[in-house]
Amino acid sequence: MGVRTELVIPAKAGIQAVFLDSGCHRNDASGLWSLYCTGLYSVMWKHFAIAVSFLTIARLPYTPSQAITPVDLARSFSWFPLVGLLLGLCLVAVASQLQNVPPLLLAVVITAMLAILTRGLHLDGLADLADGVGGGYTPERRLEIMKDSRTGAFGALALIFAVLLKSAAMYTLVLGHCWSGILVAPALSRYAMVLGAYKMPYARNVGGLARPFLEHMDFQQVLGASLLSLMFLVLISLKFALLYLGLTLACVGLLRFLAGRWLGGITGDVLGALNEITEVVLLAVSACFFCG
């Protein structure tokens, strides 16, 4: 792991120190602005690249090679809706180029493609939550079951229903060339994870992979993800923007309530399940009401 160094600049000499360190003349305002923008873009790209590598199988150029800190991972939450939109774009690009493929087969292909691109990460969370809730009667026992790497009957059923519902909805959307639903659902389901994680207590007393970065989340990430999501809704589906947003918030509110009641808080598996449930709901509603 590389050593991270930081430059501490006295308040009175802050601007002068930045100029001298960057090689700019102290009266060169454009040099300071250029330095600031370069640093800002570098940080933004870093957090976006972390979000892409965390949520998908892809790895962008200049993704940090050192161990990612919990703070960096927490800040990457701002970019979750954009990663979801890019996933939707991949699905639409494939579907639009394979119009000669039978619609049902194409629907299954792009559903499988979505699972592969995300490494089945969220589906795994859905299965674990289903096993825990279905097999345990206390929060402690449910959390214990969720840590088990084996998939039980409840988890298998949850996976089957999720994939079937997605494939059925995709079939209708592909048949009607309703691309907006395929774009919006992955973006808002990743936004749902940001809302689900914010200010929720972590369910496990010790351990857990999600604890470190959930503890470093703040309103800044929620604001960034909210602005991106609203922009996507306005650009892609302004007519149904309020309904899409309302359904997303309903899924978030319901699962936050149930997670608190069932487990005593949130876990990474709950966030994965929230993504899957929101995605299924948005795709299904799009197929039923916005296409045809």
pLDDT digits (tens, 9 = 90+) for 219-247: 999 999 999 999 999 999 999 999 999 99
Task: Using the predicted structure, report yes or no on whether residue 197 has a pLDDT greater than 60.
Answer: yes
- The residue that leads in pLDDT, 61 or 108, is 108
What residue type is 291 in one-letter code?
Answer: C
* Cα radius of gyration rounded to whole Å, the chain: 21
| pLDDT at position 210 | 74
Average pLDDT over residues 282-290: 92
Confidence band of 31 (pLDDT split at 50, 70, 90):
low
Cβ partners under 8 Å of residue 132, min gap 6: 142, 143, 145, 146, 262, 263, 269
CB-based burial label for 219 (10 Å; 0-12, 13-18, 19+): exposed
Task: Using the predicted structure, report yes or no on whether residue 13 has a pLDDT greater than 50.
Answer: no
Alpha helices, DSSP H, located in 118-218: 121-135, 139-147, 153-175, 179-197, 211-214
pLDDT digits (tens, 9 = 90+) for 77-123: 999 999 999 999 999 999 999 989 999 999 999 999 999 999 999 99
Q: What percent of the chain has pLDDT above 90? A: 67
Domain borders along the chain are 14-67, 72-289
Confidence band of 215 (pLDDT split at 50, 70, 90):
confident
pLDDT digits (tens, 9 = 90+) for 158-183: 999 999 999 999 999 999 999 999 99
Say what the pTM is.
0.85
Q: Of the given ranges (38-52, 99-113, 159-173, 269-283), which has the lowest mean pLDDT?
A: 38-52
Cβ 80 vs Cβ 194: under 8 Å: yes
SS3 270: helix
| pLDDT at position 208 | 67
- The residue that leads in pLDDT, 209 or 69, is 69
| pLDDT at position 123 | 96
| pLDDT at position 131 | 96
Confidence band of 187 (pLDDT split at 50, 70, 90):
very high
